[in-house]
Structure 1
Amino acid sequence: MNRFIPPVAAVLFDRDGTLVADVPYNGDPDRVRLLPGARRAADLLRAAGIPTAVVSNQSGVGRGLLTHADVRRVNARADELLGGLGTWLYCPHAPEADCHCRKPRPGLVLRAARALGRAPGECLVIGDIAADLAAARAAGARGILVPNAATRPEEIARAPRTAPDLLTAVLPLLPGGRGEST
C-alpha cells in the first residue's frame, strides 16, 4: 500500500554537536563554533523558503551550571553565525526532572512545529544522537542522524536514516534536490 508522506515543510535542528561544536555547558558566546556545512545548510533552507527551528536540551540550567541568560546569549551568537534560523527552543531541565520537553520526549519538537505553523509530520529533525531521533518519532516527525565523534556506534546502527554531514541531510529537501532523504 502506498501511504502518502507529506513533504518536509520545516527543519528542526539540534544545537550542540549538530550545528555548533559541543562545548559542555557552554555559557560563553565567544566559544560558539559552527560545524562544517552548518551555515551553508541554513542558507540553502532559507533560500528555499523552508522554515527552521532549533530544539536543544540545556540541562546546565537545571543543574545550576548555566543561567537562562547564558543559554540565550549562546543561542543568539549561534543564530548570528548561522544567518538566522528563526525559532530557538530549549529544555532547561535536568534529566531527573522527568519533564515533557527534554529529548527524547516530544515536547520541544511539538512546540517548534506549532511555532512554525506546521504539523509535526511535516517536520524533519536533524540531530547527532538517538535522543534527537526518538523525540522526532515521539512527536510524529521524521528524523535523520548526522553522526559525529561522540555519536555511539549503536545509535548509528539503529538510526532509520543517517547522513554523513548537514549538507547531505539538507540537499534532498530542496527544489531540484537529489531524491528524498526522509
Structure 2
Amino acid sequence: MDQLLNDFSPGLFFMQAIILLILIVLMRKFAWKPILNSLQDREDGIKNALQSAENAKLEMQNLQADNDRLLQEARLERETMLKEARDMKAKMIEDAKNEAQAEANKLVASAQASIEAEKKAAIAELKSQVAHLSIDIAEKVVREELSSKDKQMKLVESMLGEATLN
C-alpha cells in the first residue's frame, strides 16, 4: 500500500476521473437509456401478457357460462319437444280411438238400418203372400157354389192343405 501512495499522481487521478465522468455520461446517454427502455418495454410486455391472460381467463369463464346456459336451454328445449311429442302421440291415439269408435257406431247403425229394412221387406213379403193366399182362397170359395156349410169347411181345409208358406 505504501507503494501505491508513493506512485500516486494527482494529475493522472483527475484525468482518470474526467475520463470516468465522460464514460458515465456517454454510457448514460447511449447505453443506460436503451437498457432502461428495453427493461421498460419488457415490463410493459409482461404486464400486457398478464392482462391478456386475465382477459382470456375472463373470456373463458364467460364462454363456459354461455355454454352452460346454452346446454341448459337445449335440455329445456329437448324436454319441451319430448313433452309435445308425447302429447301429440296421446292426441293421435285418442283421435284414432274416437274415429274408430265413430266408424264402428256408423257400421252398427248401418247394420241395424239394413236389418230393419230387411225385416220390413220380409214382413211386407209375408203380408203380400198372406194377402195372395187370402185372395186365392176367397176366389175359389166364391167360384164354387156353396150350398152347405160342410162343403165350405171341406173347401177351406183343402185350400189350407194346398197352401204352403215360403
Q: TM-score range by the shorter chain?
A: under 0.3
- Of the two, which has the highest radius of gyration? 2
Higher relative contact order (CA 8 A, sep 6+): 1
Give the TM-score normalised by structure 1: 0.14
User: Which one has the bigger helix percentage?
Assistant: 2
Q: Which has the higher strand share?
A: 1
TM-score, normalization: structure 2? 0.15
